[in-house]
Structure 1
Amino acid sequence: MFLYKEYQLDDCFRIFIVLNGEYLYTLEERVKELHESNRELDAIIESSYDGIYITDKFGNTLKTNSAIERITGIPKHYYLGKNISHLMKRGILEESVTLKVIEQKKTVSVVQKNFNQKETLMTGNPIFNEEGEIEKVVTNIRDLSDLNQVNKELVKVQQLNEQYKEELIRLKTFTGPDQDVILKSDKMIEIYNMVGRLANFDTTILILGDTGVGKDVLARHIYRISDRFNEGQLIKINCGAIPKELLESELFGYDGGAFSGANKTGKAGMFELAHKGMLFLDEVGELPLDLQVKLLRAIQEKEIMRVGGTKSKKIDVRLIAATNRDLKEMVKNGLFREDLYYRLNVVPVSVPSLKDRQDDILPLVHYFLEVYNKKYNVSKLLDKELHNFFYYYSWPGNVRELSNLLERMILTIPHDHLTVADLPLEYKREDEITTFADEEKSLKETVELAEKTALQKAMLKYRTTYEIAKQLKTSQASVVRKLQKYKL
């Protein structure tokens, strides 16, 4: 069977074709399939979020999609029929990935800013014919501004995750103030709140206060809640407890052979040990003037030199200093360098005496009672009258005296219920103790009792025989002999 088919070419010409009917039917079905495939392909290209740009082997634009408008800000119909070289001359493209593909005959990717100042990733892929020659170039254009924004957000999320991890580590090891930080009075709460705000700033803090008020506890608290807690150690040195001739090597370390008896390999000082952490200089007012100069240089230059060394070492140390002395008065008297004083006194924090924060006394009593009961495996209790004594006593030795007295009573009193009658002699009220004049004692006995009482009181306030001797205005050797004499 043959079919007659008429095709209108234009207004003047027509053609007439006679075809085998079965062949014509197959041909028309194939045309429909190709038309449907082209329609689907156009829909796929148009729906792509990335820009699609198709040229022939000469760089003439054949097809593009609407995404090109969003990425470049230029309507897609502007590109159709135009050669890539024309677009480059107009400044729409800085460089052409299409021309590179045609030249190199392989896939090429470039990153560049387009006419709309958006950073784009352009990847051109060659399409080869059966002879292996480039027939078309298909370029994928991806807007990197969105991707860059996502990357920025991802970096922020990663940084936030790191902060959360650090915070979790901190929370696992620190759930609030140290266990030995007992706060009840408004004065102390205000102080701890203030240092909490300063903890992560590397400014120097000068802690002022009488002996035994808890300056070292405050310094340890600052370290525990600071970022340096996870990076370095808290190193403490008591400037008044180390002989002056050894203090320099303890602070700054020494190189091998620096002096007779020195370690052959040298030794790191406190500054080096505190690198990335915190150095607590207790009793900083006891530093000799020559060491004050070296300390000032370490603070200003952030570097130290070991004793006997020739090279400086960089250090990253936060400094906390403490003293019970009036540094300003020492400056006036030429005993403390003025420039060092101002370096240390950036943020002064004055810790009040225990008698000036009475609300803290009973909480401290209960805390130390619990600590020593647990330590010595006992169950001591205090009666009401003894509680009252603790509350109203002036505590010249502050928290340290309170702690020492409780430990002493727990260890020396055999029964579990402690009363005022169990207090050591020097704590009893004047009307409850025998005065020296009431008893028929010799002058020698009276003097010895006075000496013993003075030593006992000093022991409650000071830790070392050096400090006791200084307070009692006598020699350290004399203090040691009398402590042995009275079996204290």
Structure 2
Amino acid sequence: MAPMRLLDMTSYFPLLWVITDQFGQIKEESISFQELRDGLNHTEEKELTKKLCVNEKNGASFYLSGQLLRHFKMGYQNEANLQAHLFIEDPEFEAIQAELQDEKQANQELNRILEHSYDGISINTADGITLKVNNSVERFTGIPKEYFIGKSAEKLVTRGFLQESLYSRIIKTKKPATAFQGGKNGHQIVMTGSPLLNNNGEVDKIIYNIRDVSELLPYYRKFGQESLPTDAIYTSNQSPLPVLHSSAMADIHEMVNRINQIDATVLLLGETGVGKDVLAKHIHQSSPRRNGELVKVNCGAIPAELMESELFGYEAGAFSGASRYGKAGMFEMADGGILFLDEIGELALPLQVKLLQVLQDREIRRVGGSKTKRVDVRVIAATNRDLKEMAENGKFREDLYYRLNILPIRIPPLRERRADILPLAEYYINHFNAAFGMTKMLSKPLKHLLFSNRWSGNVRELANLIQRLMILSKNDELGLEDLPEEYRDSKGSENESNSLLQLTVEQAERNLLEDALRTYKTTYEIAEALQSSQATIARKMKKYGLTSTS
């Protein structure tokens, strides 16, 4: 028997070797290598042929058929046209693969934890740019969470999503910081930002935790209580118009009740914070559509590129990133109810055309769809801008303006209805006392300041200030010393020369007139009793929002 060559002997060992010519054609191969090749698909076979032809550094690794291989090549028996190739499985591959799999599972588990957190969570870069938010952030804001990605905290403040950015404080102190962000969509939001520091002690990431304290504080303050008090949180079943002391608001309430059986479009006008959304809730609850949904859309908060799909919905695969099941729009969600289009003046002109068409035809077509669908929706629009002037300047469609302006209602700013200021303050004190489990009250000097303040932010500013004082103050009686710095400055007053004495006189006048109204029916009788003229009494009653029979 002829002696066996070394090459023949190694063919029977589990070694991956092959002899090729200069074109990569296989001349000889081990049994193990042949078995490897037999199991390759077409793509993998092309990759292997490429490795056999290309000159590359010895020991280079590549992935093939579930294995990480290192490739070694050398000349064969002084044959210029032949090359010997040896492939060795990398012993670290399985460990690396297992480590990557564990890391992938850990990331998936972390994502599930983030998405199922009841509190909102936002992860930001050291530059303040949002990297990731969970679903609860969308629940608190009503804005698709994808919108926040790539946005800075400063931009979110500008757009009105945040009242205060914690970014600068955290970067400066490198310590956690907390701020009250006000109430939105029935939530009372407090945000805490915590820095993640790198090995050099610099801020690498900032993690924000966003929670609804109106749900947490009752448990905190009344530990052991089995359930929340029934009036702890403001719900849509409560009266949306808690204060109607001024004649202006009483007139608006009476008009709404008179016209609400007419299923026509309503346009709410007024400055930011006067309570347009509250009046929209009242219109919904007192209308024949009360059993349908009240769907609110903030036309100034949703980006223009998302607005069409949010209003009218989209079909499956309508655009990149769209749900494969499609999505119903706000008009479809409000079918049988009311659609509240807040900040309608911010709606882009191209969308104004489509909105006008829907209002005229009562039909919508989803983005990417070919069929129309009838919708039964009453529309309430609201704005703090002069739509008529915008229409004249070409910034708002004139035909849409007249379509919306069927039943216009102007809500006066708080400074024009001072009779509502203190009753509103007391309402919010009682409301937050119930919500937070507190027993706080306003001092007389603080009431005088509240009454005299200009309230450029109107009812929203008043409510947020009351809430802020109640959360931050250690005292049961809230006083001037509890006020933020900006409110201690007399510049916030309607008249900087208003003294405490003047305010006391005004309050005394009001109390005197209220007492007189309980006894006398007309302004003439009151004037005679108070030894004043009827014109003076009428003027004073108008100033304080009081009414009589004549």
TM-score, length of structure 2 as denominator length: 0.46
After superposition, the CA RMSD in angstroms is 1.8
Deviation by residue 1:383-404 (Cα, 9 ceiling, x = unmatched)? 1111111111110000000000
Matched, 1:309 2:330: no
Aligned to 1:250: 310
SS of residue paired to 1:281: strand
Whichever residue aligns with residue 192 of structure 1, its letter is H
SS of residue paired to 1:306: coil
Given the alignment, which residue of 401, 408, 412 partners 2:461?
401
Residue 345 and residue 272 in structure 1: after superposition, are their counterparts in 2 closer, same or farther (change >3 A)? Answer: same
Q: Distance in 1 between matches of 2:257 and 2:237?
A: 11
Given the alignment, which residue of 262, 270, 281 partners 2:341?
281
Aligned to 2:248: 187
SS of residue paired to 1:319: strand
Given the alignment, which residue of 396, 401, 417 partners 1:336?
396
SS of residue paired to 2:289: helix
Matched, 1:228 2:323: no
Which structure would you say has the larger Rg?
1
Q: Distance in 2 between matches of 1:346 and 1:221?
A: 18
Whichever residue aligns with residue 277 of structure 2, its letter is D
Q: Distance in 1 between matches of 2:430 and 2:237?
A: 19
Q: Distance in 1 between matches of 2:491 and 2:357?
A: 57
Whichever residue aligns with residue 342 of structure 1, its letter is Y
SS of residue paired to 1:226: coil
Deviation by residue 1:123-156 (Cα, 9 ceiling, x = unmatched)? xxxxxxxxxxxxxxxxxxxxxxxxxxxxxxxxxx
**Unaligned residue ranges in structure 1 (runs of 5+):** 1-173, 433-488
Deviation by residue 1:90-119 (Cα, 9 ceiling, x = unmatched)? xxxxxxxxxxxxxxxxxxxxxxxxxxxxxx
Residue 380 and residue 248 in structure 1: after superposition, are their counterparts in 2 closer, same or farther (change >3 A)? Answer: same
Q: Return the offset for 1:177.
A: 7.8
The percent of aligned pairs where both chains have the same amino acid is 55
**Unaligned residue ranges in structure 2 (runs of 5+):** 1-234, 493-550
Q: Return the offset for 1:379.
A: 1.2
Deviation by residue 1:57-109 (Cα, 9 ceiling, x = unmatched)? xxxxxxxxxxxxxxxxxxxxxxxxxxxxxxxxxxxxxxxxxxxxxxxxxxxxx
Residue 195 and residue 430 in structure 1: after superposition, are their counterparts in 2 closer, same or farther (change >3 A)? Answer: closer
Whichever residue aligns with residue 260 of structure 2, its letter is A
- When the two structures are aligned, how many residues end up with a matched partner? 258
Q: Distance in 2 between matches of 1:243 and 1:420?
A: 41
> Are the equivalent residues in 2 in contact too, given 1:258–1:308 (CA < 8 A)?
yes
Which structure has greater helix proportion? 1
Aligned to 2:481: 421
SS of residue paired to 1:291: helix
Q: Distance in 1 between matches of 2:240 and 2:393?
A: 40
Given the alignment, which residue of 273, 291, 296 partners 2:356?
296
Deviation by residue 1:41-65 (Cα, 9 ceiling, x = unmatched)? xxxxxxxxxxxxxxxxxxxxxxxxx
Q: Distance in 1 between matches of 2:312 and 2:325?
A: 15
Q: Distance in 2 between matches of 1:237 and 1:277?
A: 14
Q: Distance in 2 between matches of 1:321 and 1:194?
A: 17
> Are the equivalent residues in 1 in contact too, given 2:240–2:281 (CA < 8 A)?
no
SS of residue paired to 2:290: helix
Given the alignment, which residue of 406, 413, 416 partners 1:353?
413
Kindly report structure 1 stretches of 4+ aligned residues shifted beyond 4 Å: 174-177
> Are the equivalent residues in 2 in contact too, given 1:240–1:287 (CA < 8 A)?
yes
Aligned to 2:499: none
Q: Distance in 2 between matches of 1:176 and 1:357?
A: 26
Q: Distance in 2 between matches of 1:302 and 1:188?
A: 32
Q: Return the offset for 1:430.
A: 4.1
Q: Return the offset for 1:420.
A: 1.1
Whichever residue aligns with residue 272 of structure 2, its letter is T
Q: Return the offset for 1:382.
A: 1.1
Given the alignment, which residue of 174, 196, 208 partners 2:257?
196
Q: Distance in 2 between matches of 1:284 and 1:181?
A: 26
Aligned to 1:385: 445
SS of residue paired to 1:229: coil
Residues 80-479 of structure 1 aligned to structure 2 (within 5 Å): 178-230=239-291, 232-430=292-490
TM-score, length of structure 1 as denominator length: 0.52
SS of residue paired to 1:334: coil
Deviation by residue 1:201-233 (Cα, 9 ceiling, x = unmatched)? 111110000000000000110000111112x21
Q: Distance in 1 between matches of 2:445 and 2:403?
A: 48
Whichever residue aligns with residue 314 of structure 2, its letter is Y
